[in-house]
A and B are shown apart, each in its own frame.
Chain A
Amino acid sequence: EPEVTQTPSHQVTQMGQEVILRCVPISNHLYFYWYRQILGQKVEFLVSFYNNEISEKSEIFDDQFSVERPDGSNFTLKIRSTKLEDSAMYFCASSERGQEGNSPLHFGNGTRLTVT
């Protein structure tokens, strides 16, 4: 079964540094998402992306964050200047269509970001 793959599985960075989290969505999917999960807390929506532009974003997704689909297969999340509170598990997800029409989100296994 096709999977959403994320790399790296664990990223350690120093406060103030830039990080790029990478995702390869399922190949025929058109909608892409980033979520995060702070340890022991709920999963939170960050951003959705369709047709090479952001379609929706949460208030968490401030100017420090950006997303990009640099080629036909990768989908990246960049955090420009990391803060301690950015430490979390970041999940990429993709769906074939939007959520209407029973097109579920498929999540990757996440990248654990630790900011020191």
Chain B
Amino acid sequence: QQQVKQSPQSLIVQKGGISIINCAYENTAFDYFPWYQQFPGKGPALLIAIRPDVSEKKEGRFTISFNKSAKQFSLHIMDSQPGDSATYFCAASDLYGGSQGNLIFGKGTKLSVKP
């Protein structure tokens, strides 16, 4: 029940296309859903995050869509660029339950954007 399932494992998109990565969770206590971007040799960096009181959050080319009833959330990268090539991790946490930094990560999606 603590798992976050992420798909696809890898994704190849043409420059200018839309990249879509999906995550699903079981624990209804999760109330914080961040996405992290990781480049080779670097630590994960927070990209965008959402709380379950909204269904969508947009920051520039990055959008999180959240479906509470389906317990799913997704990352959309519009106008994908070669510089977006990285590994993307979704995560979830139970903040209201007092979790302090215990993020449950998905297994990651390796995105390659072809020029």
Q: Interface on A for B, CB 8 Å cutoff? A: 4, 31, 33, 35, 41-45, 48, 50, 55-56, 58, 91, 93, 95, 98-100, 102, 104-110
- Bound Cα distance from A4 to B43, whole angstroms: 10
Q: List 6 A-B contacts (CB under 8 A).
A: A35-B103, A43-B44, A48-B100, A91-B43, A110-B42, A110-B43
Is there an interface contact between B95 and A99, defined as CB atoms closer than 8 Å? yes
Interface of B: prevailing SS: loop
Q: Which of B60-68, B77-85, B104-112 contacts A (4 or more CB under 8 A)?
A: B104-112
| Chain B residues, CB < 8 A from A33 | 101
For A44, A95, A100, A102, the residue with the greatest tally of chain B CB atoms inside 10 Å of its CB is A100
- Bound Cα distance from A102 to B42, whole angstroms: 22
Q: Interface on B for A, CB 8 Å cutoff? A: 32, 34, 36, 41-46, 49, 89, 91, 93, 95, 99-108
| Chain A residues, CB < 8 A from B106 | 42
| Chain A residues, CB < 8 A from B105 | 42-44
Query: Given the known A-B contacts A56-B100, A91-B43, A99-B100, are A43 and B89 also in contact in the complex, defined by CB atoms under 8 Å?
Result: yes
Query: Given the known A-B contacts A91-B44, A104-B46, are A31 and B108 also in contact in the complex, defined by CB atoms under 8 Å?
Result: no
Is there an interface contact between B45 and A42, defined as CB atoms closer than 8 Å? no
- Bound Cα distance from A91 to B105, whole angstroms: 14
Q: How far is the CB of A91 from chain B (nearest CB, A)?
A: 5
| Chain A residues, CB < 8 A from B104 | 45
Is there an interface contact between A56 and B101, defined as CB atoms closer than 8 Å? yes
Nearest chain A residue, comparing its CB with the CB of B89: A43
| Chain B residues, CB < 8 A from A93 | 43, 101
Is there an interface contact between A56 and B108, defined as CB atoms closer than 8 Å? no
Nearest chain A residue, comparing its CB with the CB of B31: A100
Nearest chain A residue, comparing its CB with the CB of B106: A42
| Chain B residues, CB < 8 A from A56 | 99-102
Q: How far is the CB of A35 from chain B (nearest CB, A)?
A: 8
